[in-house]
Structure formats: structure tokens, C-alpha cells
Amino acid sequence: MREDVSNTAAFPTARCEPCGKSVLTYVTLDERGGEVRCCVHCDGVIGEELRWLNASELEAEGYEIGYRPEDKAKSSGGSCGTGCGSCATRKG
């Protein structure tokens, strides 16, 4: 069972044409220093209008929100348990 995530949070999503689906987006800077919104999966520029989804709506889109306490218990050395090694190797 996962810990609940507040449904008051809003996550920016939009349709990504290269991925062919609705995706989470992030903001970065273009070559001129202007803000541009990109896909979290392919890093492609998003030209579509944003939709702000709460946690339940985002899960309906196929994303998993929060973490399962059993995953945290399996992690070692204070890492997040994703397996990337970054957390466990980070020095204070």
C-alpha cells in the first residue's frame, strides 16, 4: 500500500506528439534564455496547451504517485530505492 499524496497538488501535463501520449512536463531554458516546456520522457519541446492534473487524475494517466513503504524499507544506506546508486553514493 502506498502512502497517500495530497490531491491538492497540481502536475503539468500536455500531449507529446513524438511520444504519442499525455506526459508530465518540465520547464527549461532555450538557447536564448527563454522558458520552454519539455516532455519528461523524450525531452521534446511541448507546443500543446497544458493540463494541470491532481494526483488521482495523473494516476489515471498511468503515472504512479508517492512511494510504497515496503520500497523504502528495502533500500539501503538511505537511498531512495530506485537502483540508480546516486543517493547511496552521495557524501553528506
User: What is the per-residue pLDDT for 64?
Assistant: 86
CA distance 52 to 50: 6
C-alpha cell at position 7? 490531491
Catalogue the long-range contacts made by 24-27 (C-beta closer than 8 Å, 24 or more residues apart). Answer: 24/58, 24/63, 25/50
Tens-place pLDDT, residues 24-70 = 999 999 999 999 999 999 999 999 999 999 988 998 988 987 766 66
Reading the block at residue 58, the C-alpha cell is: 495523473
Give the pLDDT mean for 58-87. 66
* CA–CA distance, 47 with 34 (Å, rounded to integer): 14
The dihedral over CA atoms of 5, 8, 9, 10, expressed in degrees to the nearest 10, equals 130
pLDDT at 78 over 70: no
